[in-house]
Structure 1
Amino acid sequence: MKVYHASLKEAQADAGVLAVQGPSPFERLDWLALLCEMCLAPAKPRVSVASNGTQVAALPWMEAHGGAEALANWYNFIARPLGDAVLLSEITRSLPVGRASFAPMPEEDARQLADALRRTGWVAISEPCDSNHVLPVKDRSFAQYWSARPGALRETVRRKGRKGEVALRIVTEFSPTDWDAYEAVYKLSWKPGEGSPDFLRRWAEMDGAAGRLRLGIAEIGGQPVAAQFWTVEGGTAFIHKLAHDERFRKQSPGTLLSAAMFEHVIDRDGVSLVDFGTGDDPYKRDWMEDVRTRWRVRAWRKTAVRHWPTMVRALARYKLQPLVSPNRDG
C-alpha cells in the first residue's frame, strides 16, 4: 500500500490519480488547479492519495483554520473523494491534521468518508448543509419535458416568444465578445458582485476549448439583456450562472433563454441530467423535478486536544438537531 500527501501539482503528474477523476468540473484536477490559482490560497491545496497497485483513492483538500477543509468554494456544486472508497481509510488514518470539514457532499460520499474517519480513530458527524435541484431527463424529448412544466411558465414563454422581441443564441465556443456580453449583463442584473470574474472567464475559455461550454445570450434590439453560463460534461448539463438586465424584465428574456437552453441540452446534447447546483431558490422548482440533500462531514482526532472545545460544541449542537430524512442521492 502506498499513501502520500501531495501538492495539487504533484497529483496532476500521477497517472493513477488522473484516471479516477470524476464526470463533473468539480472532480477534475485541472478545474481544481484553476480554482486554487485564482480563488484560493495557491500554497494550501493538497491531494492525499492511497494506492494498492490496482485501485487508487484521492482526497483533495486544503489547509485552513488549523485543519483540512474541502478544496472548494461557492463555485463547487459538490466536493467529494475520488476513486476507490475502500481505500479512504488509508488516507484518513494518516491525514496530517487534527480537524477536518468537507462540504457540500453527496450523501453516499459523505457516509463513506465519515465511516472511514471513524474507523481510523476520528470523531465524525455528517449533517445536511444544502439542497441540490436536478432534472432527471428520463429519455424524454424537450417537448415531453416542457409539457409537464407549470402552466404559467409555459404561457409566459408562449406569449413573450410570440412577440419576437427577444433574439436568442447559444454558443459552444469561447468568444471574448460573447463573454463581454455575459459580463455586461451580469453587472446590470439583480445579482451581487461576482466573486471572481477572471476565474469564470478562464473557466469558460477552458471548457470552450474542450467543447463543454454552453453560453446563452438573449438580445433585444442588438443589446444583450440576459445571459447564462452552462457546461455539459459526463451526460450532465450544469447550470452555473444566470443573469438578466432588470430594465427588460417585462419581456422575460431570462425565462425565454432558459427554455432555449433546456431544449439545447436535452434535444441536441442528449444529457441525462440537468443540475441546478446548490441553493433552494423557489424558481428552481418550476424547471427541476427532484431535490437532493447535500451534506457536511466534520471530524476531529481524539488525540488533538486543542480541537476538543470545538468538537464538544459541535457534538452538543448535533445531538439537539431534529432527525432529517433526506432524498437519496444518485
Structure 2
Amino acid sequence: MQAPTITLWQSPAEGRRAMISVTICSPSESLTAPWDDLVLRASPNPFMNPAGLQAAEATDFATVRVLLAWEVGAETRRLVGAWALHWRRVGGVLPAILEALPHAYAFQSAPVVDPHYVDQVIPAFLDAIEQDASLPNAVTLRSFDGESPAYAALRTALTGKGGVAVEVKRFDRPVVSPVFGVKRSGSTRKKLRQDWNRLSALGQVAVVNDRSPAGVAAAFETFLALEAASWKGAQGTALACDPIDTAFTRRMVLGLAARGDASVAVLQIDGRPIAAQVLMYCGTTGYTWKIGYDAAFGKFSPGALLVDHITEQLFAAGFQAIDSCSAENTFMSQLWSGRRTMVDLVIDVGPRRSLGFVVELARQIGLQRLRELRNRLRNWQGAATAKKLAVRPYPATSR
C-alpha cells in the first residue's frame, strides 16, 4: 500500500483554533487504542470497528480505506473521527467509487466523530478524499443516519465546497431505548407472553448470551447452522452458502468478540438451540446484526421472543439504545415503536460531476426502482394468496 496521505485543515473548535490532520490508511491493529478512546465520546457505529475492518482486509472480502481525523497542536494527538470506506469497481468495468458501508454486511455508513469536532472533521474528510488522487470523488452512502450531526455537517460541507449530494431513498429503522420504544402493552406484548408460555410448556426455556470468546465462537456456529437450515439456506442467501462470506463473517465476529464487541444470544429449550441472534456493541449501543431460528418452532415466534428478552438483558446491563440494523417492514417494527430516519445518497466531493458519480447515481436509482417493483409484486402476490385462502362461512343448509 502507498504511504498514508495527510491533509491538514484548520477551523475553530471548542472556542479556539484547532488543527485537524486526516490520515488515510488500511485497517491495522494500531488503530485499536485510539478507537477505544474515540467511542467513549463519539456517535456509535460498530461497522467502523478496526477489528471488523481488519477481518475484511485479511480475507480479501473488501478493499478498505480508513480516514482518521486527529486533533493536533495540543499536548498529545487525539483521534476525533474515523470513517471506513470500501474502494470498489462494480463489475470490474464501471468507474471506481467509494462505498461508505465498508463491506457487504455493514448496515450503518455514518462516520464515528467526536460531537465537539463534527463541523471540522466532516469537511476535512471530504477535502482528504478530493485531494487523494488514488481515491474516487464519488461516494455512495447507504443507511446513513439522517438524524445524526454528521449528516447535517455533510450537507453543509458539500454545499460550501461546491460538491453535490443526491438523496436516493429515505426510510425508518426500528430502534429502542430504555425509556422509549419497548411495547409494554397491547396485542404484541400479549402474543409474546402467550408464545413464551406455550413454548415453556414443552420444556425448560432459557436465553443464553455467553460473551466469552469461546462462548461466542460456539454460538456463532450454532447461528450459521440455524440460518443454513432455514429458508435462507434454501434460497442460497445464508452465510454458510458462500465460503467467502462464511470466512469473513466468522473472522469478523470472533475478532469483535475478542474485544467484547460481539456475542451471539441463543434461545434454548431443554438445551436445544432454536434461535440465535448475533449482536454487536459500540459504546452503550447494541446492534441486532443477524438472526436465525429453527423453522420447526416457527409457530412460537422464537426470533421475536429472543430479541424481546435480549432487549431487557442489554438494558439491565446498562446499554442505552439498540439498533435493529433492519428496515421498517421486519418483525423488529412490531416489537419496537422507536424509529430513526436513515438516508441513502450519492455524493461527489469535487466541484465537477465525475463520471463515477453519474454512473453510480444512475445505478442506485435503477436498483431502488427495481426493489420497489419487487416489493409491489410481493405485496400483490401475498394479497392474492391471502384472498384464496380466506375462510368464508358456508351457506346455511336444511339437512
TM-score bracket relative to the smaller structure: 0.7 to 0.9
* 2:172 corresponds to 1:102: no
The answer to whether the 8 Å contact 2:267/2:306 transfers is yes
**Which of 110, 126, 132 is the aligned partner of 2:173?**
132
Kept after mapping to 1: 8 A contact 2:284/2:321: yes
Equivalent residue runs for 1:111-150 within 5 Å: 111-138=152-179, 146-147=184-185, 149-150=188-189
Query: Which of the residues 26, 46, 67 maps onto 2:97?
Result: 67
Which of residues 215, 219, 226 in structure 1 aligns to 2:275? 226
Indicate which of 38, 43, 50 corresponds to 2:59. 38
Alpha-carbon separation, structure 1, partners of 2:111 and 2:28 = 17
d(CA) in 1 for partners of 2:357, 2:299: 55
Read off the aligned partner of 1:271 and give its amino acid letter: F
1:327 equivalent in structure 2: none
Code of the aligned partner of 1:105: F
Contact preservation (8 Å) 2:203, 2:269: no
Deviation, 1:86, is 2.1
Amino acid at match of 2:192: L
Post-superposition Cα deviations, 1:226-253, rounded to whole Å, max 9, x if no partner, equal 2121234422221111111212323443
Cross-structure match for 1:217: 266
Report the secondary structure of 1:104's partner residue: strand
CA spacing shift, 1:153–1:37, aligned 2, 3 Å = same
The aligned counterpart of 1:197 is 246
1:135: Cα distance to partner? 0.9
Asked if the contact 2:65–2:85 (Cα under 8 Å) also holds between the matched residues in 1, the reply is: yes
Q: Give the Å deviation of 1:146.
A: 4.2
- Find out whether 1:25 has 2:46 as its counterpart: yes
Which amino acid in structure 2 is aligned with residue 258 of structure 1?
V
Q: Report if the CA contact (8 A) 1:166-1:220 is conserved.
A: yes
The size of the alignment, in residue pairs, is 312
- Contact (CA 8 Å) 1:106, 1:294: kept in 2 or not? yes
Match of 2:352 among 289, 293, 303: 303
| 3-state SS of paired residue (2:274) | strand
The alpha-carbon distance between structure 1 residues 4 and 188, as it changes in their structure 2 partners (threshold 3 A), is same
Q: Secondary structure at the match of 2:324?
A: strand
The structure-2 alpha-carbon separation of the partners of 1:59 and 1:77, relative to structure 1 and needing over 3 Å to count, comes to: same
- Closer, same or farther in 2 for the Cα pair 1:50/1:129, shift >3 Å? farther
CA RMSD of aligned residues (A): 3.5
**1:47 matched to 2:67:** yes
- Is the partner of 1:150 in helix, strand or coil? helix
The answer for the alignment partner of 2:295 in structure 1 is: 246
For the residue of structure 2 that corresponds to 1:303, the secondary structure is coil
Structure-1 residue corresponding to 2:198 = 159
CA distance 1:182–1:303, change in 2 (3 Å): closer
Question: Structure 1 residues 91, 283: closer, same or farther in 2, change over 3 A?
Answer: closer
SS at match of 2:344: strand
**Contact 1:124/1:297 (8 A) holds in 2:** yes
Cα drift, residue 120 of structure 1: 1.6
Which stretch of the first structure deviates more once superposed, 185-194 or 1-10? 1-10
Q: Secondary structure at the match of 2:151?
A: helix
The aligned residue for residue 276 of structure 1 is 324
Q: 1:235–1:305: structure 2 CA closer, same or farther, 3 Å change rule?
A: closer
The aligned counterpart of 2:109 is 79
Structure 1 CA distance, aligned partners of 2:168 and 2:310? 34
Give the C-alpha shift of residue 106 in structure 1: 0.9
TM-aligned CA deviation for residue 294 of structure 1 = 1.0
Report the CA distance between 1:134 and its aligned residue.
0.5
1:111 shift after superposition: 2.6
Q: Identify the residue that residue 126 of structure 2 maps to in structure 1.
A: 92
CA contact (8 A) 1:93 1:117 kept: no
Conserved? CA contact 2:203–2:270, under 8 Å: no
More moved, 249-258 vs 112-121: 249-258
**Contact 1:137 1:274 survives alignment (8 Å):** no
**Residues 259 and 164 of structure 1: CA distance in aligned 2, closer, same or farther (over 3 Å):** farther
Q: Secondary structure of the residue that 1:292 maps to in structure 2?
A: strand
- Please state whether the residue corresponding to 1:277 is helix, strand or coil: coil
Q: CA deviation at 1:305?
A: 5.3
Q: CA deviation at 1:279?
A: 1.6
5+ long unaligned stretches in structure 1:
318-330
Is the 8 Å Cα contact of residues 267 and 273 (structure 2) preserved in structure 1? yes
Amino acid at match of 1:280: E
Deviates more, 1:277-286 or 1:10-19: 10-19
Q: Secondary structure at the match of 2:231?
A: coil
Q: What is the rounded CA distance, in whole Å, between the counterparts of 2:357 and 2:269 in structure 1?
A: 59
Q: Is the 1:114–1:297 contact (alpha carbons within 8 Å) kept by the matching residues of 2?
A: no
8 Å contact kept, 2:304–2:335: no
Q: Looking at CA atoms only, which structure, 1 or 2, has the larger radius of gyration? A: 2
SS at 2:61 equivalent = coil
SS of match in other structure, 2:251: helix
Rounded to whole Å, the distance in 1 between the matches of 2:268 and 2:303 is: 10
Q: Identity rate of aligned residues, in percent?
A: 19
Give the structure-2-normalised TM-score.
0.66
CA contact (8 A) 1:218 1:227 kept: yes
